[in-house]
Amino acid sequence: MSFIVAQKEAKMAIKLKEIFHPKQHPVRFTLLVIVLFFVAFAALGVTSIQVWQYSNSTAFCANMCHDVHPEEIAAFEDSHHAQIKCVECHMGRVGTLKSMFIKAGHFKHVPAVIFGTYHRPLHSESFRSASESCELCHSKNALHGDTAKQVIRYQSDERNSEKRTYLIVKTGGSDPIKGLESGAHWHIVNPVEFIATDESKQEIKMS
Ligand code: HEC
Ligand code: HEC
């Protein structure tokens, strides 16, 4: 049975060689080369797009490198941003070409991941500016005003008694044209300068 199949395949190969013989049928041969070139080019293109897309997925970031500090992944999964991708903040919502350069820059962290020489806690060195990440989803001109929040917690006493905390979150906003300025988001359109007295910028002296 397999002998017959092999014979058939050999006959087919000879036939194809005759049909596309470079000297006897140069036009057909050239067309074949062009078609094969485009098929290979399309296959390479599709593979590259798939690899690029996978390299931008949360699964890639979370499992291939950033599993070395699982607390970042846990915080992400429990956040308002669990449905967006890591790269939408860490590379920003920039054009493909720019994000390719930014991603190539991330390779400099690979030795630290392999040899475990990264800082603990991590220091941010390469975060994108808010104008290239946050503000491309959250409009900086939106005014949020104040929000009343009720936080309910249960104590660890015998009756697990309820404790309610009421907060007024002064998110606010700022509109330079209308002249409205209030709350924490006031800083978005106004320059804020500060000098930190430690390297991780945790201690800011108020003057
Ligand atoms: C909503 C935006 C946002 C998303 C989505 C996000 N991050 Fe972050 N991440 C931040 C911010 C903001 C910081 C703090 C940067 C700073 O301190 O300047 C940070 C810090 C980090 C740091 C430590 C500091 C650094 O910049 O190297 C790591 C590592 C990290 N994130 C990994 C991840 C991973 C992995 C994901 C996806 C599973 C993710 N992040 C998703 C906003 C985001
Ligand atoms: C790709 C789009 C995207 C980017 C980039 C992004 N966010 Fe968000 N953000 C969202 C969405 C969508 C929600 C609402 C999620 C929900 O309500 O479940 C949200 C929610 C939030 C909330 C909660 C608001 C509330 O109602 O309590 C805050 C705060 C926030 N984002 C801040 C940031 C900051 C700071 C950055 C940049 C470091 C950022 N976001 C980047 C899409 C984004």
Contact 171, 145 (CB under 8 A): yes
The pLDDT value recorded for residue 1 is: 56
Is residue 86 lining ligand 1, measured as CB closer than 6 Å?
A: yes
* Contact predicate 183/172, CB 8 Å: yes
The percent of residues in the chain predicted with pLDDT above 70, rounded, is: 98
Ligand 1 close to Cβ of residue 113 (< 6 A): no
Q: From the CA of 191, how far away is ligand 1's center (Å)?
A: 23
* pLDDT of amino acid 207: 63
112 phi/psi in degrees, rounded to 5:
-65, -35
Helices (H), the chain: 2-19, 26-55, 58-60, 70-77, 86-90, 96-106, 110-115, 134-137
For the CA of 92, the nearest ligand: 2
Q: pLDDT band at 96, cuts 50/70/90?
A: very high
pLDDT at 186 exceeding the cut of 90? no
Domain positions in the chain are: 2-52, 73-138, 143-199
Inform me whether the pLDDT recorded for 82 exceeds 60.
yes
Q: Give yes or no for residue 2 having a pLDDT over 80.
A: no
Closest residue by Cα to atom 5, ligand 1, is 86
CA of 11 to the centre of ligand 2 (A): 64
Long-range interactions of 201-205: CB distance < 8 A, separation 24+: none
pTM for the structure as a whole? 0.79
